A and B are shown apart, each in its own frame.
Chain A
Amino acid sequence: MHTKTIAELVQGLRSKAFSSVELTRHYLERIQARDATYNSYITVTPELALAQAEAADARLAQGDAPALCGVPIAHKDIFCTNGVRTSCGSKMLDNFIAPYDATIVDNYRRAGAVTLGKTNMDEFAMGSSNETSYYGPVKNPWATDCVPGGSSGGSAAAVSALLAPGATASDTGGSIRQPAALCGLTGIKPTYGRVSRWGMIAFASSLDQAGVLTRTAEDAALMMNDLASYDPKDSTCVEMPVPDYTAELNNPIKGLTIGVPKEYFSEGLDPKTAQIVEDAIKLYEQLGATIKSISLPHTHLAVPAYYVIAPAECSANLSRFDGVRYGYRCEDPKDLTDMYMRTRSEGFGEEVKRRILVGTYALSTGYYDAYYNKAQQVRRLIKRDFVEAFESVDVIMGPTSPSPAFAFGAKTKDPVAMYLEDIYTIATNLAGLPGLSIPCGLVDNKPVGLQLIGDYFAESKLLNVAHQFQQATDHHQQVAPSALD
């Protein structure tokens, strides 16, 4: 059962090839038997999962159940889940049981999907290797001496190791697409505002967006149908109808114009990765698309701008973790200042503290104009680059990440090297555009991702273009060897 895609599970549940309880039990057993290797889950919720599975079977028996009814999924531990520990990968929230559901968790619950558990992640989603988690690093199922990418490394490893058929994730600078690339998965970050942020623990509010990690574009479309919604509880959520994301999957892509930014194939890109990505784009030509070389001239400013804006926002977003109302509080504080200082010094990890300090500095009197304001100006220029590009192309393509999965510890000593992991993904967050990564080949037996960037709210188009690639290739069908041992 675990090799089936979500689309196949949806069919299997309806044809009574297996029940949701059987399916759920199977996944729980796999997690129990195998996750010690990967550390992809922080919390497994067997009781909740089996109760939901039973309810799903009852609904399925009545007929007319929603598509995902009875399908087990995992949630990134950044999404509040009622009655379940929601740690955000941090010691700070190790004792935090969320008293409410994030909107997307609620959406899936109402659709009858089954929650297997909460997946590991970089602490507060700050990291590109899942090495900053309080709960330890996650191993890449393709090469267990390598990172799975981050920050949604737990979700990616769980799906890649067949410990869940799909998982929710979040993407602030590449945290869905880069792990998708490194673990050989399909990962989509929708347009900013397409998915509610209510209940998703904030890292950088103007950049954060929830998405999904699956094995195929079709599965991503199925999950997107419940992920996207208008939510009045999130003021930045856009009020527009949610289409059926599976409806356009099979549209022909003949006549599609693909823009390939020259800046995405410059210095820093691993040559073997570049070759595989170029081959994938050439395949689209065979499928009837037109390739057009374009320029996104402010690309080189994306990482610096991001590493001002995201830390600035996080420095305020993480102020609420002060030991007063919930979460970690230091032992025996002497006074208020001591409580604040030790709670936050002991409760946060190094990378989180680094970003809080960077953000605090960038917003300080005398530096605000030079950093925060300048970064916002750059952000507008980056957005304009894309808006102009989409006047002549339908989709932009390039690599998702500069190289395949790297070894543990390879970049932990050099924050800038780590930050450059997201060099191709960050700009879409700054612009608020949707982005998607699909597997397009292997380098040294490790997956490489092809990134597709769409115009605002063009998720259906992106999924269609990705699905057509997967109809013509079998990269997405390759499974991490360790998952099948």
Chain B
Amino acid sequence: MEWETVIGLEVHVQLATKSKIFSGASTAFGADPNTQACAVDLALPGTLPVANEGAFRYAVMFGLAVNAEIGKRSVFERKNYFYPDLPKGYQTTQLAEPIVGPGHVDLELDGGRTKRVRIHHAHLEEDAGKSLHEDFHGMTGIDLNRAGTPLIEVVTEPDMRNAEEAVAFAKKLHNIVTSLEICDGEMSQGSMRFDVNVSVRPKGEEKLGTRTETKNLNSFRFMEEAIELEVERQISVLESGGTIVQETRLYNGDTKKARSMRTKEDSNDYRYFPCPDLLPIMLDDDYIESVRQQMPELPEERRQRFINDLGLSDYDATQLTSDRATADFFEASAKASGEPKLAANWIMADLAAYLNKQELSIDQSPVSPEQLAGLIARIKDNTISSKIAKTVFEAMCAGEGDADAVIDARGLKQVSDTGALEKIVDEVIANNQAQVDNYRNADEAKRPKMLGFFVGQVMKASKGQANPQAVNEILLKKLSD
């Protein structure tokens, strides 16, 4: 039987506000446990939440970026459950009236295919703290630094049909929130976490199959692996006559295995009700318009600008704006070099290949945009050939300094000096008299091909540093004498 996969995502995006959503404590990552938890975050008796306006603004920005309706009135509710890293015994979140209503995101997939993924809604909520199960001799440590960090939870419709689409959506979302600067996008620190709802159904069937939810995936790769594993599992269960149990699952990226965490039967009744400590958030058109005016450039706007103002091809512009860091890198090196097209080529070819091989992100590139611009400048002014430039680039990646330092240290400067080149050409002609005679006796038509031999010899003799164009000119002149 042919199966169709149906995927919906819930994405937790930590908002990059300086302070928490309901208290003044800092949201910075990595501080000592419980040093960034104030009386409100600790849920001391008598404390009250005060909502952080910055979180509303960021949520509205997100809503506008995904073409969504903005909730003019949104309401915080309490989601009740007990867990040691949930200090109040409830999470303050939104349910019936979220701040971001239905919207959509358009994906560009391989082969020029596009796909629209609908956003069901996105709501504001507070993050929980962390339970630390190691290093406490069988006890559990609680770190409340993260408690109260603002989140938007983005909930999609079940519109994706395979892991590729789900990952493309996740990457697009990452690109949007980092371009808006509402999230730092640091997935390894938990700044974006994905829950994937997966079900399968016979191809052509309209009714959705029973779904499972795999929670808390914090890399695109794990997400892809988890989806593929789960699809495989569900198909195998169904094909062997079994049924899928609605459950929450956990995927372990190290062991590449998933396990059931809890089934629907033991799920909580969260007893949501409006939080009486917080007033509804009322947003008017003027506010929403003022947020729209202050929004940083979105990836699509940037793509258009790269095409129109910097002369990039549609393809190059799409590639370079597929994530915020690459677009920033490109723009900085294009600006520093004044050569957008060359910068684009270097980033998409040599730099991408190097980073890929070393498993580095572009933020970790050993060559800065300015250093890349320095290399491009030496190509443009004929100090080095494009071929030598590759050697220089490799040396730069290896940490040998910027382009000029590598060229100097390695003596890679291109020889364009006519006198020096003529001397080399003369030697080559003298040492290869037979080929010279052949050349001179050959038809005009065959000569260009034969010239390559002499160019090669000259380049070899100059250790590749001869300016190929100058060599060509001198050879043509001398061989026709």
Chain A residues proximal to chain B, CB less than 8 Å = 79-80, 86, 88, 93, 96, 98-100, 102, 197-202, 204-206, 232-236, 312-313, 315-316, 318-322, 324-326, 336, 340, 360, 363-365, 368, 372
Contact = CB atoms under 8 A, between A and B. Distances in A.
A391 to B, nearest CB: 26
Contacts of B140: 336
Contact of B271 (A200, A201, A336, A363): A363
B269 A235 contact: no
A93 B44 CA distance: 11
A315 B269 CA distance: 14
B88 to A, nearest CB: 5
Contacts of B42: 325-326
Given A312-B273, A324-B142, A80 B45 contact: yes
A364 B87 contact: no
A360 B46 contact: no
B90 interface: yes
Interface string B274-314: 00111100000000000000000000000000000000000
B271 A235 contact: no
Interface string B394-406: 0000000000000
B47 A198 contact: yes
A344 B48 CA distance: 22
B39 interface: yes
B142 A98 contact: no
Interface in B61-91: 78, 80, 82, 84, 87-90
A96 B42 CA distance: 14
Contacts of A204: 276
Interface of B: 39, 42-51, 78, 80, 82, 84, 87-90, 140, 142, 269, 271-273, 276-279
A340 B51 contact: no
Contacts of A79: 46
A320 B45 contact: yes
A320 B80 contact: no
A325 B277 contact: no
Instruction: For the complex of A and B, list the 5 residue pairs with the smallest distance between their C-beta atoms, beginning with the closest.
Output: A319-B89, A206-B276, A363-B271, A205-B276, A199-B46
Contacts of A372: 273
B90 A235 contact: no
13 contacts: A93-B45, A98-B44, A100-B44, A102-B46, A205-B276, A233-B48, A235-B51, A236-B276, A236-B279, A316-B78, A316-B90, A321-B45, A326-B42
Contact of A98 (B43, B45, B48): B45
A133 B148 CA distance: 33
A331 B75 CA distance: 40
A319 B82 contact: yes
A200 B277 CA distance: 12
Given A235-B278, A360-B271, A365-B269, A316 B45 contact: no
Contacts, number: 100
Contacts of B84: 322, 324, 336
Which of B43, B46, B89 is the most central at the interface, judged by chain A CB atoms within 10 Å of its CB?
B46
B328 to A, nearest CB: 38
A206 B276 CA distance: 5
A299 B269 CA distance: 33
A235 B80 contact: no
B46 A200 contact: yes
Given A98-B46, A324-B84, A313 B269 contact: no
Nearest to B24: A233
B129 to A, nearest CB: 10
Contacts of A205: 276-277
A324 B34 CA distance: 14
Given A235-B279, A319-B80, A325-B87, A202 B46 contact: yes
A88 B45 CA distance: 9
A427 to B, nearest CB: 18
Contacts of A316: 78, 80, 88-90, 271, 273
B89 A198 contact: no
A233 B50 contact: yes
Contact of B48 (A197, A206, A368): A197
A319 B44 contact: no
A235 B45 contact: no
A99 B271 contact: no
A425 to B, nearest CB: 19
A100 B42 CA distance: 13
Contact of A319 (B39, B90, B269, B276): B90
Contacts of A96: 45
A98 B46 CA distance: 10
A319 B88 contact: yes
Nearest to A232: B50
B271 A364 contact: yes
A214 to B, nearest CB: 23
